Amino acid sequence: MAHSTDAERMEKIVSLCKRRGFIFQAGEIYGGLNGVWDYGPLGVELKRNLKDYWWRRTVQQRDDIVGIDGSILTHQAILVASGHVGGFSDPMSDCLLTRARLRADQIEPQSGPVHSYTGARHEASGWSTSRSFSVLRRQGEDENKARKTARQFYHQFRGSHDIGEKEIELLGESVEEVTDSTRFNPANGALLTEPREFNLMFQTKVGASADENDPNAVAYLRPETAQSIFTQYRNVSDSTRVKLPFGIAQVGKAFRNEINPRNFTFRSREFEQMEVEYFCRPEDGLRLTDEWLEQRLKFYEEIGIPRDQLHVLDVPEKDRAHYSKKTYDIEYAFPFGIQELEGVAYRTDYDLSKHQQHSGRPMDYFDDQTKERFIPHVVEPSAGVDRTVLALICQAYDEEQVDDGKGGSETRIVMRFAPRMAPVKVGVFPLLKNKPALVGKAREVRDLLQPFMTVFYDEAGAIGRRYRRQDEAGTPFGVTIDFDTLGENDPALKGTVTLRERDSMSQQRVPIDELLPRLLEAIR
């Protein structure tokens, strides 16, 4: 591993992602769209491999889980029932003095005298304003402190530094006692803006000629994939005759209007989730939450993220959603910090109960054996696709010093993806491109492999450069066709090729007939 700070490492990763075609910024030629990203040719293969493998392990190789693919446009009533409309937003207030942004519902109520002003002026320059401002005088502060804060505000409000704060004259001072007010910044007593609701959902209107003011036309881009599973739970169980415990899986996009997207693709406004809602009897919920945690950790190991790079956070009650009895966060050690990849949450019967209540449709389950009727509980392992792709990229990125053949060393950049995740599985190269026999044979090898895996065929330039280019793409294998393949020098080598392994750079002579079974075994 190279000796570089984490920020430097992350910059190199972002740079490689663009250079090699993993991830581009959305709308880049128009200056970019904040918090939105496009996947390039290598990125889309990587992402697809991840989703396909998750689907295979979670749905196809199990008898107790079925899949759905729900719509992104979501009926507003669903999100009212789930608590996202109204609840999925944070009231925010800004400090008028420092412009700090605060959660209005988390401000400590304060009491004390409030100094209010109707405006301010600076006689010498003829400047004045009738903008009002107030300051809460906190415990132990005198009147001059409140006036100083007010002068700071007006000085800043004036926007020019040609006069000093102390020269500003405050106008229309009045003092009034308040109790338990959340309208003032606890840090400095300055007045806050009115709390504003920041709705984190993207709203849209359904119907081409929808009336702007028709409340029934409002729909939302889903903020999580889970709700379509809950709302179709009845249809799925009726049409498949599944018995508890069973799960419904989904992979799909979700949208949140994040206040502050950060860390490359980590916090995006448009992102993809892979999740299961696993329905069970109430008494099994806690046990299954632990079982799912173990299964999910195993999954990460299978895609090349070792256990020691993962952290499991047993989310304390105060940080859990109110309906959750138990939540584990599976976190990965990204270069920018330890951050969540997946949440395994025991959501109790909250969601189905809410939808039963709001829709008036029964969501209960009748157990034939025990003759009990109850609303199933739910365990939800919900993973971020884009976050996992980013973790795969960060985990794979490596720089190593290799001998340059001239007595010195040079840096080799190599993406050490697990072969089953690698965007391209094998590179096929004729040693020289100006020899038709080599090129023809190499194309035959490409055609042999291409129906079974992603193959990159490259005949341009020096062979070493072609190998290194594939190292940056994370291609685990390279196959080179040379004159021995044609049987020119030694008849015993006819029909063999060089198989080069990415991580060790070792080479091996392999008969073409053995290539396909060997590679298939290595990438499955």
Partner RNA sequence: GCGGGUGUAGCUCAGUGGUAGAGCACUUCCUUGCCAAGGAAGAUGUCGCGCGUUCGAAUCGCGUCACCCGCUCCA
Shortest Cβ distance from residue 408 to RNA (Å)? Answer: 10
CA distance 306 to 298: 9
Using CB under 7 A as the binding rule, the residues of this chain from 450 to 469 that contact RNA are: 460-465, 467-469
Interaction between residue 228 and RNA (CB under 7 A)? no
- Give which of 301, 398, 399 is closest to 341, Cα–Cα: 301
The yes or no reply on residue 31 touching RNA (CB under 7 A) is yes
Residues 266-285 that bind RNA (CB under 7 A): 267
**Angle between helical axes of 41-55 and 385-396 (0-180°, round to 10):** 110
State in angstroms the smallest separation of the CB of 16 from RNA.
8
Instruction: Out of 13, 17, 22, 35, point to the residue binding RNA (CB under 7 A).
Output: 35
> Applying CB under 7 A, does 11 fall inside the site for RNA?
yes
CA–CA separation, 327 and 306 (whole Å): 22
* From 26-34, 180-188, 390-398, 513-521, span contacting RNA (CB under 7 A): 26-34
Q: What is the largest CA-CA distance in the chain?
A: 103
Cβ proximity to RNA: between 170 and 473 the closer is 473
Of 256, 326, 347, 377, the one binding RNA (CB under 7 A) is: 256
Considering only residues 81 through 110, tell me which ones interact with RNA, judged by CB under 7 A: 87-88, 90, 94, 98-103, 106
Tell me which of 48, 56, 243, 262 binds RNA, using CB under 7 A.
262
Site string for RNA, 146-185 (x = CB under 7 A): ----------------------------------------
User: Smallest gap, in angstroms, from Cβ of residue 257 to RNA?
Assistant: 10
Kindly tell me which residue out of 155, 442, 471, 523 binds RNA, with binding defined by CB under 7 A. 471
- Choose, by CB under 7 A, the member of 482, 515, 519, 523 that binds RNA: 482
Q: Does residue 332 touch RNA according to CB under 7 A?
A: no
Residues in region 105-134 near RNA by CB under 7 A: 106
Q: Which is nearer to RNA, 115 or 441 (CB)?
A: 441
Q: Map 6-42 to HEC letters.
A: HHHHHHHHHHHHHHHCCEEECCHHHCCCCCCEEECHH
407 touches RNA (CB under 7 A): no
Judged by beta carbon, residue 131 or residue 412, the one nearer RNA is 412
Q: How many CB atoms lie within 10 A of CB 278?
A: 28
Q: Tell me which stretch binds RNA (CB under 7 A): 245-253, 355-363, 389-397, 471-479.
A: 471-479
**According to the binding rule CB under 7 A, does residue 309 interact with RNA?**
no
Helices (H), 83-135: 84-87
Name which of 14 and 171 has its Cβ closer to RNA. Answer: 14
413 binds RNA (CB under 7 A): yes
* Cα separation values, 309 from 75, 305, 327, 335, Å: 40, 7, 20, 11
Q: How far is the CB of 256 from RNA (least distance, A)?
A: 5
Question: Does 494 interact with RNA (rule: CB under 7 A)?
Answer: no
Residue 283 has a CB neighbour count (10 Å cut-off) of: 8
Helices (H), 56-171: 76-82, 84-87, 143-158
Distance, in Å, from the CA atom of 93 to the CA atom of 193, rounded to the nearest integer, reads: 5
Q: Which stretch binds RNA (CB under 7 A): 30-38, 70-78, 174-182, 238-246?
A: 30-38
Q: Is the dihedral of CA 127, 128, 129, 135 positive or negative?
A: positive
Please give the order of strands across the beta sheet that includes 133-136.
133-136, 110-117, 174-181
Question: Does 476 engage in binding with RNA (CB under 7 A)?
Answer: no
Residues 339-358 that bind RNA (CB under 7 A): none
Q: Kindly tell me the sign of the dihedral angle through the C-alpha atoms of 203, 208, 211, 216.
A: negative
Token digits of residue 59:
């749905």
| Residue 35 · residue 269 · CB < 8 Å | yes
Residue closer to RNA, measured from CB, 207 or 511: 511
Q: Give the footprint of RNA on residues 431-450 (CB under 7 A).
A: 431-435
Q: Which is nearer to RNA, 98 or 359 (CB)?
A: 98
Question: Residue 338 is inside which H or E element, if any?
Answer: strand 337-348
**Number of residues engaging RNA in binding (CB under 7 A):** 74
**Under the criterion CB under 7 A, does residue 405 sit at the interface with RNA?**
yes
Shortest distance (Å) from residue 208 CB to RNA? 28
CA distance 390 to 305: 11
For residue 480, give the nearest of 502, 460, 499 by alpha carbon. 499
The only residue of 189, 195, 223, 474 in contact with RNA, by rule CB under 7 A: 223
d(C-alpha 423, C-alpha 22), whole Å: 9
Question: For the window 200-219, what string marks contact with RNA as x by the rule CB under 7 A?
Answer: x-------------------
Q: Does 404 bind RNA (CB under 7 A)?
A: yes
The answer, yes or no, to whether the previous bond of 41 is cis (omega within 30 of 0) is no
DSSP 207-234: STT--TT-GGGEEEE-S-SHHHHHHTHH
Which residue lies nearer to RNA by CB, 31 or 451?
31
Looking up tokens 């999910």 gives 296
